[in-house]
């Protein structure tokens, strides 16, 4: 049985309209890098990449 999230993304091509963005963010305290993942609509990818944090 499919999970609800998977089932809803398959309806009306919903999953094809999103992109997963992974950013490397440097910690100001330790200097170590962490990765921040987010799902954004395709038309907002450039705005998400420009934003800090």
Is residue 21 in some structural domain? yes
The pLDDT assigned to 35 comes to 93
Split at pLDDT 50, 70, 90, the class of 37 is very high
Is residue 10 in some structural domain? no
Residues in the chain: 53
Output the pTM of the full model: 0.56
Is residue 32 in some structural domain? yes
Local structure of residue 51 (DSSP, 8 states): S
Split at pLDDT 50, 70, 90, the class of 14 is low
- Residue pair 1/7 in contact (Cβ under 8 Å)? The answer is no
Determine the average pLDDT of the residues in 41-48: 88
Is residue 43 in some structural domain? yes
Is residue 31 in some structural domain? yes
Q: How many domains are there within the chain?
A: 1
Split at pLDDT 50, 70, 90, the class of 30 is very high
Is residue 7 in some structural domain? no
Distance from C-alpha of 13 to C-alpha of 41, rounded to nearest angstrom: 12
- List the domain range (segments joined by +) for residue 24: 17-53
């Amino acid at each position: 049985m499919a999970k609800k999230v998977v089932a809803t993304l398959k309806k009306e091509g919903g999953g094809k309209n999103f992109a997963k963005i992974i950013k490397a963010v440097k910690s100001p305290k330790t200097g170590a890098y962490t990765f921040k993942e987010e799902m954004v609509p395709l038309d907002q990818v450039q705005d998400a990449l420009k934003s800090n944090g």
